[in-house]
């Protein structure tokens, strides 16, 4: 049985269920339904009435008054549910059209919205149960006094939660908060990787490795490290990944290398522990965040949105993340306790990531002086962090591309001259720190 794959599938299913927008509403609704049945039982055996007698200002023993109160609360709550769902859909539609559809999973995972929806829906269900027991209980009083009192307080709780919901949803739709959340999540992941000590610039394996082709089509997501390491330690199996996380693979495309000839048992181990899926999770693959920030910047620069300020904001965050990514040099190697390798990942594709981010933004900002200036500043600052000048040629090509694009697309010669001056200044900044021996060459 594929225990590793089953365990991973159960884990991912658990995450998908618990982060679904329907999870907390269902749990809270079931909890309040159970509470309604409990309080109804207490009212039926007259315990609820005895408790309410100690706080007489909460006592409602007239069936018409109780029915009118509960009916009014139920009508108001149904209106709140409709309005709340409508606001959620409006926010999701706005985020999709104005920023990027890839941001929807993060917004849907917000627990605040789920708890508010669950509180309102659950309270409505609670009141329905209580209302159905007014003057219908075969035993006990005609009015379930304890249940009615709790209904009033739950109604107040719904009003407070709705006020909180308005505040929260107005913050979630702000692009500054969306960018900040994406940035801080990615920064935390990159910092964890930088401190892990798992990256090696000159890792070599003298063993012979055998090529393995993809047995299915899909996006390469991850390798279940703990489960694979247990098996690989017993068999002496090493795995070298040839592609980066998030790469789409076709069936029979070169994918892995292993240090032992392929057989049915090894094939089963690989299929159990190498995971394909079709979702983007920044915490598992931080490269997705570079894509999301770039898409937000490009979307903001489109004629329909025309928001260069958001693009500049995204570029600032990309600058910090690219500098941190540049610090991840070499290959990530997952090792056993004795220092032998278990999983060797492909080298970090800094140049590809950098080029795709800057080239995409450059193509849509060639007429905007402010965005072009910010892009030049990003290139200059990333270059200064390149202590070994590994990416100097790429930086130079990007500056040349910006200079060519601005000369072709900008209508004002003053703007063109300004961009050229910034580019020249950027070249001087990162050339100034270049070792003299390298410059002489």
What class is the 191-348 domain?
Answer: alpha beta
Tokens of 420: 């050229």
Phi, psi of 255 (to 5 degrees): -135, -50
pLDDT at 438 over 50: no
Pairwise CA distance, residues 376 & 396, whole Å: 11
pTM: 0.75
Question: What gap in Å lies between CA 153 and CA 136, rounded to an integer?
Answer: 23
Q: Model confidence over 153-172: pLDDT tens digits?
A: 999 999 998 888 888 877 87
Point out the least confidently predicted range of 119-128, 129-138, 307-316.
129-138
Pairing of strands 341-344, 210-213: unpaired
Q: Which residues pair with 358 in a beta bridge?
A: none
For the cut 70, the answer to whether the pLDDT of residue 320 exceeds it is yes
Q: Which residues pair with residue 274 across a beta bridge? A: 223
Domain boundaries, the chain: 3-173, 191-348, 365-441
Share of the chain above pLDDT 90, in %: 13
The whole-number pLDDT of residue 35 equals: 92
pLDDT at 427: 81
d(CA 148, CA 210): 72
- pLDDT tens for each residue of 172-190: 778 888 889 889 989 998 9
Tokens at 279, concatenated: 């979702």
């Amino acid at each position: 049985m594929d225990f590793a794959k089953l365990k991973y599938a159960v884990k991912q299913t658990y995450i998908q269920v618990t982060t679904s927008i329907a999870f907390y509403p269902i749990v809270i609704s079931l909890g309040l339904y159970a509470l309604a049945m409990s309080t109804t039982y207490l009212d039926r055996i007259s315990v609820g009435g005895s408790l309410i007698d100690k706080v007489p200002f909460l006592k409602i023993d007239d069936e018409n008054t109780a029915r009118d109160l509960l009916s009014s609360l139920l009508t108001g709550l149904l209106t709140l549910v409709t309005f709340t769902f409508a606001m959620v859909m409006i926010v999701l539609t706005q985020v999709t059209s104005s920023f990027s559809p890839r941001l929807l999973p993060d917004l849907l995972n917000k627990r605040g919205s789920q708890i508010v929806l669950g509180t309102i829906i659950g309270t409505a269900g609670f009141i329905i149960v209580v209302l159905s027991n007014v003057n219908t209980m075969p035993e006990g009083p005609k009015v379930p006094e304890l249940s009615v009192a709790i209904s009033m307080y739950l109604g107040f709780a719904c009003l407070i939660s709705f006020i909180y919901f308005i505040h929260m949803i107005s913050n979630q739709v702000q692009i500054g908060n969306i960018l900040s959340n994406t940035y801080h999540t990615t920064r935390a992941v990159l910092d964890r990787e930088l401190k892990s000590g798992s990256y090696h610039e000159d890792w070599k394996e003298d063993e012979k490795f055998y090529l393995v082709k993809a047995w299915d089509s899909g996006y390469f997501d991850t390798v279940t490290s703990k489960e694979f390491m247990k098996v690989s330690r017993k068999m002496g199996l090493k795995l070298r990944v040839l592609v980066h996380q998030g790469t789409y693979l076709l069936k029979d495309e070169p994918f892995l290398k292993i240090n032992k000839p392929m057989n049915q048992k090894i094939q089963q181990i690989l299929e159990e522990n190498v995971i394909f899926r079709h979702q983007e999770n920044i915490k598992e693959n931080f490269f997705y965040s570079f894509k999301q920030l770039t898409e937000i910047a490009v979307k903001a620069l489109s004629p329909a949105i025309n928001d260069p300020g958001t693009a500049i904001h995204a570029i600032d965050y990309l600058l910090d993340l690219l500098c941190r990514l540049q610090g991840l040099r070499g290959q990530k190697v997952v090792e056993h306790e004795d220092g032998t390798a278990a999983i060797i990942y492909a080298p970090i594709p800094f140049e590809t990531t950098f080029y795709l981010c800057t080239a995409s933004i450059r193509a849509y900002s060639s007429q905007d002086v402010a965005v072009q200036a910010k892009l030049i500043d990003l290139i200059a600052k990333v270059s200064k962090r390149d202590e070994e000048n590994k990416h100097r040629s790429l930086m130079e090509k990007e500056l040349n591309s910006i200079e060519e694009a601005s000369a072709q697309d900008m209508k004002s010669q003053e703007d063109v001259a300004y961009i050229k001056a910034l580019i020249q200044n950027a070249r001087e900044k990162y050339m100034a720190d270049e070792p003299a021996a390298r410059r002489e060459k």
